[in-house]
Amino acid sequence: MRTYLRLFVAGFRRQSTYRLAAFGGLVANTAFGLLKVALLFAAVRTSGGELAGYDVAMMSSYIWISQGMLGSVNLTGRTEIADRIRTGDVAVDFLRPLDVHLASVTTEVGRAVFALIPRGIPSVVIGALLVGMAVPEDPWAYPLGAVSLLLGIVVSATTVYLVGVSGFWLLETRGVALLYMVVSGFLAGLFVPIALFPDWLRLVATATPFPAMMMYPVDVLSGRVGGAAAVGLVALQVLWLVLTVAAGQLATRAGRRRLEVQGG
Amino acid sequence: MADLAAYRAVLASRIRAQRSYRTSFVLDLASSLLVGFVELAEVWVVFHAVTELGGLDLAAVVLVFGLADLAFSLADLSFGHCDTLPTYLRAGTLDVFYLRPQPLLLQLITSDISLRRLARAVVGAAALGVGLAVNDVAWSLASVALIVLALVSGIATFAAMFVWAAGAQFYLIDGAEATNAFVYGGRYAATQPASVWSRPLVVVFGFFFPMAFTAYLPVVTLLGLPGPEWMPTWLGWCAPVAALWAWVLALLTWRAGVRHYQGGGG
């Protein structure tokens, strides 16, 4: 357990050295956030101040919390493990007295949690100052929201790990990663909240782990979904966590048997 | 013409190289096609929830999307490779480019031409075609001229954005995402009705980076729609002026960046 804690801290500290990158990310978050504010606020206003349960303040919370999570939730499909499998470095990882799957996920989560400091919190503060936003009335929304946020980050790491280990069979995972990138952002509710989707599309989204990465934490943190329903969303995240971890364990074991490393 | 032959040879080799890994190429094409579809779906979902937004209905916004996305993907096809400049800068491999007897920017552009991006252009072109068919366009020589002018200027404007971003990379290096805010954020902005923007957005994406000129303003002029109050209806004709401004900005930034560059050592 201590080892994994150390890996978490290492991931956290590694990310902290890229300050300029974090600043660049914040600029991007703010610019995209303001564009989303313009479009989605106009959509709320033209439908008479309420759209699919969103008023302007709630829409603002959705926009800035989701923008803030962008640096922490992996929606690009790119992972280090994919590169290590392609180059064969993963053979070294298997020699270590560690679970390759858990070690890789833990490092990724460490980096993601760090990203909340330079990108997550400032995005929300900028949004609150520039536009204003709704805050949950129920004090329980904050601890539950924190749990949901962390679960979202972990589910994104365990899901994207599956994209990486597909490299055991495919070698080049660029196509799969691109597919992941296209689908994940849309179904996680990055551009438009899932509540605005037509019914069939919302069903499709709910059948994937993507809303568990971003939409559910945003719903809990913003107080749009409260009480028992919020606990239900967190339970759904736990379910996706269990499923993706199980799949990751199986894929890692099967991949290990399949692994061929060239050269001595 | 001997100079051009060199570029042709380089580009032809890039195209052959991509087609040689057939499965990967097909998967890439399919994924790129999907990128275009999902981006269209993002617009559609919003307009599905409301009937009209910022003076545009679904039909008009499909036209805006088609024009903007086709222009962006064609610019991306040839200039998108400028995005890899930070990788060259970090690895120090940019110095190799200086050894060759071709201008740096031209080498960077021809260092890759991604055929898979053509698949994305197909979605943009289809949206443009559908948009032109379902809208009530008053066809005349002038309207055809306006569409062609908007498309050509749009490609030039987006291409300038890639060059601008590359120039800024010489200063930013690790902060590449800051330019993505305006290059890819610009693409996102270009597919929106600019009439919903707040004043700072109008300044940044309306005029400084003239994204509104790539699709929204020409469509407003073409369909004779009531535009936002900050524009007269003929503003859509000014797309070439906007493209010219974007290139001035891009080349100045590129020049400053190249002069700032000290080499990778070694």
> Tell me: the pLDDT tens digits for B125-141?
999 999 999 888 888 89
> Considering only alpha carbons, which residue of chain B is nearest residue A31?
B181
Supply the ipTM of this predicted assembly: 0.83
Residue with tokens 């460490």, as numbered in its chain = A110
Checking if the pLDDT of A132 tops 60, the result is yes
Average pLDDT over residues A198-203: 92
**Minimal C-alpha gap between A38 and chain B (Å):** 5
Q: Quote the number of domains for chain B.
A: 1
Q: CA–CA separation, B40 vs A229, rounded Å?
A: 32
Overall average pLDDT of the B154-174 stretch? 88
Q: Quick count: other Cβ atoms within 10 Å of Cβ B141?
A: 7
Whether the per-residue pLDDT at A258 is higher than 90: the answer is no
What range defines the domain where residue B235 resides?
2-260
Residues within 8 A of B (CB atoms), A 21-40 only: 21, 23-25, 27-28, 30-32, 34-35, 37-40
For B233-248, what is the mean pLDDT?
89
| pLDDT tens-digit map of A9-68 | 887 777 777 777 778 888 888 889 999 998 999 889 888 888 888 888 999 999 999 999
Q: Which residue has the higher pLDDT, A88 or B18?
A: A88
The predicted model gives A81-109 an average pLDDT of 86
Q: How do residues B173-192 score in pLDDT, each as one tens digit?
A: 777 778 888 888 899 999 98
Tell me if B63 is assigned to some domain.
yes
Please judge whether A24 and B172 are an interchain contact, meaning their C-beta atoms are less than 8 angstroms apart: yes
Find all residues with CB under 8 Å of B21, minimum gap 6, and list them: none
Is the residue at B266 inside a domain? no
What whole-number distance in Å separates Cα of residue B179 and Cα of residue A99?
A: 38
Per-residue pLDDT at A262 exceeds 80: no
Alpha-carbon distance A163 to A167, whole Å?
Answer: 8
Q: Does A103 touch chain B (CB under 8 A)?
A: no
Answer yes or no: is B165 within a domain: yes
B185 and A42 within 8 Å at the Cβ level: the answer is no
B62 occurs within a structural domain: yes
From A160's Cα to the closest Cα of chain B, the distance in A is: 17
* For residue A264, pLDDT beyond 50: no
Are B45 and A201 an interchain contact pair (Cβ–Cβ within 8 Å)?
A: yes
Categorize the per-residue pLDDT at B235 as very low, low, confident or very high, splitting at 50, 70 and 90: confident
- Residue pair A250/A258 in contact by the 8 Å Cβ criterion: no
Q: Do B175 and A23 touch (CB under 8 A)?
A: yes
pLDDT for position B21: 67
Beta strands of B43-179 (E only): which ranges? 52-53, 56-57
Which residues numbered 110-169 in A keep a CB inside 8 Å of some CB on B?
none
Dihedral pair phi/psi, residue B252, rounded to 5°:
-65, -45
**What mean pLDDT value characterizes chain B?**
84
